[in-house]
A and B are shown apart, each in its own frame.
Chain A
């Protein structure tokens, strides 16, 4: 009797580990998908900024609603003029996943030429 119960417990344990591994693999895929999409959205904002006049490139209030991407919490643009004619531009896209906030940030410099 005891041997059978031990065998059942071991089998159950083995199956649990297998399923845990599957879920880890699935969530790893999902993390990558969100990161890549967020990177594209950050690049989108950078390209918009590059299309502006140098003088109008400035920090923006957080964009809390991006149509088609409801999972994104916000997109923040931070601009600092590091010296005359050169601005440091950072775009951060943030989203909530697995109970915590994730983010991706891209950075470039825009010159007044």
Chain B
């Protein structure tokens, strides 16, 4: 009889009040931590998007700055007077053009009516209105220069180029700007 009583005491289950406390606390904890986790995941996702944009912007900035610093001689200017283009003579090579491209644009002019553009680099000899997609892409998803407020801008002063990149992916926007003065001017 004594042995039976001892067994009953040792294996007793939870009381109703204990179960209620646990059943109230556990969903509360899971709810709070779950929603925090979702917020964290969104922030993580946005962070990864920004990191991707930043890497691309950094690469594009280095690429254009290096080309312009090393250009051959005083050949800096716009391509066919089109805004947001940069024409230059590559050291020991051809004449090249940096320009903004969108496949839906009907023609190659200074009207940037699409929302986003790619920055491309092409040999001038391969580039014309009929072959607008010549060259290689350097940076994608640049916000149009004609956006409100104005965004991406490639401007050429007599001696200096201003590179103002505004890139948007999802809701993330990264802006980077610098100036380059070609060394051989």
**Residue ranges of A at the interface with B (Cβ–Cβ < 8 Å):** 1, 4-5, 8, 11-12, 15, 19, 22-23, 25-26, 29-30, 32-33, 36-37, 40-41, 43-44, 47-48, 50-51, 68-69
B3-11, B36-44, B81-89, B133-141: which one contacts chain A? B36-44
Task: Find out whether the CB atom of A26 lies under 8 angstroms from the CB atom of B180.
Answer: no
Residues of chain A with a CB closer than 8 A to B21's CB: 1
How far does the Cβ of A15 sit from chain B's closest Cβ, in whole Å? 5
Task: Find out whether the CB atom of B179 lies under 8 angstroms from the CB atom of A1.
Answer: no
17 contacts between A and B (CB under 8 A): A1-B14, A4-B22, A5-B22, A8-B25, A15-B37, A22-B43, A23-B40, A25-B44, A33-B174, A36-B176, A37-B175, A47-B179, A48-B160, A48-B179, A51-B160, A69-B175, A69-B177
Contact partner, A8, options B26, B61, B178, Cβ 8 Å: B26
- Bound state CA distance, A41 and B176, in angstroms? 8
- Tell me whether chain B's interface is mostly helix, strand or loop, or mixed: helix
Contact partner, B58, options A4, A12, A36, Cβ 8 Å: A36
Task: Find out whether the CB atom of B160 lies under 8 angstroms from the CB atom of A40.
Answer: no
Contact partner, B40, options A22, A43, A44, Cβ 8 Å: A22
| Chain B interface bracket (under 10, 10 to 19, 20 to 34, 35 or more) | 20 to 34
Residues of chain B with a CB closer than 8 A to A29's CB: 47, 50-51
**Residue ranges of B at the interface with A (Cβ–Cβ < 8 Å):** 14, 18, 21-22, 25-26, 29, 33, 36-37, 40, 43-44, 47, 50-51, 54, 58, 61, 159-160, 162, 164, 174-181
- Tell me whether chain A's interface is mostly helix, strand or loop, or mixed: helix
**Sample of 19 further A-B pairs with CB below 8 A, known A12-B33, A29-B51, A51-B181:** A1-B22, A8-B29, A19-B36, A19-B37, A26-B43, A26-B44, A30-B47, A33-B174, A36-B176, A37-B176, A40-B176, A40-B178, A43-B179, A44-B178, A47-B178, A51-B159, A68-B175, A69-B175, A69-B177
Residues of chain B with a CB closer than 8 A to A26's CB: 43-44, 47
How far does the Cβ of A74 sit from chain B's closest Cβ, in whole Å? 16
- Bound state CA distance, A48 and B37, in angstroms? 47
Residues of chain A with a CB closer than 8 A to B159's CB: 51
- Bound state CA distance, A73 and B178, in angstroms? 17
Residues of chain B with a CB closer than 8 A to A37's CB: 175-176
Task: Find out whether the CB atom of B181 lies under 8 angstroms from the CB atom of A47.
Answer: yes
Residues of chain B with a CB closer than 8 A to A47's CB: 160, 178-181
